[in-house]
Chain A
Amino acid sequence: MKSLLSGNEAVARGAWEAGCIVATAYPGTPSTEILENISKYPEINSEWSVNEKVALEVAAGASFAGARALVAMKHVGLNVAADPFFTMGYSGVTGGLVIVSADDPGMWSSQNEQDNRHYGRHAKVPVLEPADSNEAKIFTRIGFEISEKYDTPVLLRLTTRICHSSCLVDLGQRKETDIKGYVKDMKKRLVLPAHARVLHTIVEERLKKIAAYSELFRYNKIERGDKTLGIITSGVSYQYAKEVFPDASFLKLSLTYPLPEKSIRKFAKQVRRIIVVEEGDPILETEIKAMGIRVTGKEKIPLCGELTTRVLRDSFFKVRKSRKKEGRIPPRPPVLCPGCPHRGFFYIVNKLKLVATGDIGCYTLGALPPLNAMDTCVCMGASVTNAQGLEKALGKDFSKKLVAVLGDSTFFHSGITGLVNAVYNKGNLNLIILDNFTTAMTGHQPHPGTGKLARGEQGKRIPPEEIARGCGVELVRVVNPNDLKATEEAIKEALAYDGVAVLIFRRPCALLVKPRTPYRIDPELCNGCRLCLHIGCPAISLISPRGREKPLAVVDEALCVGCGLCVQLCQRDAIVLTEKSDA
Chain B
Amino acid sequence: MPKKIANTTNIVICGVGGQGIILASDVLCQAAFLEGFDVKKSEVHGMAQRGGSVITHVRFGKKIYSPLIEEGTSDFVLAFEKLEALRYAHYLKKSGRIIVDNREISPMSVLVGQADYPANIDRELEKSGKTDFVDATTVAVELGNMRVVNILLLGVLSKYLDFKRESWEESVRKNIKEKFVELNITAFNKGQTS
Contact = CB atoms under 8 A, between A and B. Distances in A.
B146 interface: yes
B193 interface: no
B111 A243 contact: no
Contacts, number: 166
B97 interface: no
A165 to B, nearest CB: 4
Interface string A328-362: 11111111110000000000000000000000001
B5 A243 contact: yes
Interface residues of A, number: 58
A168 B38 CA distance: 7
B17 interface: yes
A4 B83 contact: no
A30 B46 contact: yes
A477 interface: no
B30 A161 contact: no
Contacts of A538: 51, 108, 111
B44 A108 contact: yes
Interface string A508-551: 00000000000000000000000001001010111000000001
Contacts of B20: none
B13 interface: no
A310 interface: yes
B33 interface: yes
A333 to B, nearest CB: 6
Nearest to B50: A334
Nearest to B115: A330
A32 B46 CA distance: 10
B112 interface: yes
Interface stretch (B68-76, B160-168, B178-186): B68-76
Contact of B111 (A309, A368, A443, A542): A542
Contacts of A558: 146
Contact of B40 (A30, A165, A242, A551): A165
Given A240-B68, A330-B109, A330-B116, 6 more contacts: A165-B40, A323-B72, A330-B107, A332-B83, A370-B112, A558-B146
Interface of A: 2, 4, 29-30, 32, 108-109, 132, 160-161, 164-168, 236, 238-240, 242-243, 246-247, 308-310, 313, 320, 322-325, 328-337, 362, 365, 368-370, 441-443, 533, 536, 538, 540-542, 551, 558
15 contacts: A2-B33, A29-B45, A132-B40, A165-B67, A168-B33, A239-B66, A243-B66, A330-B107, A330-B115, A330-B116, A330-B118, A333-B53, A337-B50, A538-B111, A542-B111
9 nearest A-B pairs in the assembled complex, by CB-CB distance: A109-B46, A334-B52, A29-B46, A165-B67, A334-B50, A332-B107, A330-B115, A541-B111, A323-B90
